[in-house]
Amino acid sequence: MARITAGVAASHVPAIGAAVDHNQESTEYWKPLFDGFGWTREWISKEPPDVVILVYNDHATAFDLRMIPTFAIGCGDSFRPADEGFGARPVPVVQGHPELAWHLAESLILDEFDMTVLNEHDVDHGLTVPLSLMFGRPEAWPVKVVPVLVNVVQYPPPTGNRCWLLGEAIRRAVESFDENLDVQIWGTGGMSHQLQGPRAGLINTPFDQAFMDRLVTDPDALRRIPHLEYLREVGTEGIEMVMWLIMRGALGPDVTELHRHYHVPASNTAVGHMVLDASA
């Protein structure tokens, strides 16, 4: 049977992708950020999972205001890095796992989560930047990826509790896949950031750090954070943090924190990163 062995949380700031693509990881600005991913790169290179269920949001790239699925799943064979306005990132095409993805779609929909099935879509910085953070600049990505997309761009996004419940359903779905697969789940986006309006540049370090603490010690409290609290405390784009709750919900009640990194700023964003072991 397939099983979820670990969860990873990571921000997905597009400027991080540009820094990797232009060999800038050792510059004064970027070194402190990338240093915090060194532990994870070593950990994951020792025993890469077979598949990553990568929870991210599309930023009006594959979708736009004509089509806004709340939850979607990428069932394609592969996913091209998208052109987000400056040409596609020079990173490998992402290989999917259509058999697992279709199994997840079937299991989740019959479990009463109405997933939109994507048979073809390009992936933006929300998916490729976390891969670059974890693997650097490989010729081919060392893992297969099942993308799970969440609308956090156009109001109303799903609640944190709904995200958590989807995570629990993903765990059930993975555990009913009849193949021996080591599966990780990654929750991406966040942490505090607001990219527009008078509060652009907002960062709330105490909230971010308490969120990371509670992800381990009191995740139930995070399920009840309402949208307005995210908007007020961590900015309009801070709402991306609900995607971390899908990851956490999929790990089961007890996790062990293996690694944590927090860095301000990368572009306009507070970068948070955690690795949680689910095998306890």
Looking at the annotation, which residues are catalytic? Answer: 125, 193
Chain positions 180 to 239 lying near ligand DHB, rule: CB under 6 A, are 189, 193, 195, 237
Chain positions 77 to 136 lying near ligand DHB, rule: CB under 6 A, are none
CB of 271 vs ligand DHB, minimal distance in Å: 9
CB of 110 vs ligand DHB, minimal distance in Å: 32
CA 97 distance to own-chain centroid: 17
Q: Give the 3-state secondary structure of residue 162.
A: helix
Residue nearest to ligand DHB (CB): 267
Q: Is 159 in the site for ligand DHB (CB under 6 A)?
A: no
Residue 125 to residue 165: CA distance in whole angstroms:
26
Contact window for ligand DHB (CB under 6 A) among 11-19, 47-55, 69-77, 135-143? 11-19
Q: Which of 6, 8, 9, 13 binds ligand DHB (CB under 6 A)?
A: 13
The total of other beta-carbon atoms located within 10 Å of residue 45's CB is 13
H or E element at residue 74: strand 71-74
Binding mask 242-271 for ligand DHB (x = CB under 6 A): -------------------------xxx--
Q: Could you tell me the two tokens for 156? A: 């109303």
CB of 152 vs ligand DHB, minimal distance in Å: 10
Q: Identify the CA nearest to 61 among candidates 78, 82, 87.
A: 82
Segments in the chain forming alpha helices (H): 14-21, 31-35, 38-46, 98-110, 125-135, 160-175, 205-217, 219-223, 227-234, 242-249
Q: Give the 3-state secondary structure of residue 256.
A: strand
CB of 79 vs ligand DHB, minimal distance in Å: 17
Residue 10 to residue 133: CA distance in whole angstroms:
8
CB of 241 vs ligand DHB, minimal distance in Å: 11
Q: Is 17 in the site for ligand DHB (CB under 6 A)?
A: no
Binding mask 21-60 for ligand DHB (x = CB under 6 A): --------------------------------------x-
Residue 165 to residue 167: CA distance in whole angstroms:
5
Q: Is 273 in the site for ligand DHB (CB under 6 A)?
A: no
What one-character-per-residue DSSP string does 54-69 give? EEE---SSS-BTTB--
Q: Is 12 in the site for ligand DHB (CB under 6 A)?
A: yes
Residue 54 to residue 153: CA distance in whole angstroms:
17
Q: For ligand DHB, give the closer residue by CB, 57 or 70.
A: 57
- By rule CB under 6 A, what count of residues binds ligand DHB? 12
**Across-strand partners of 48?**
none
Binding-site ranges for ligand DHB (CB under 6 A)? 12-15, 59, 189, 193, 195, 237, 267-269
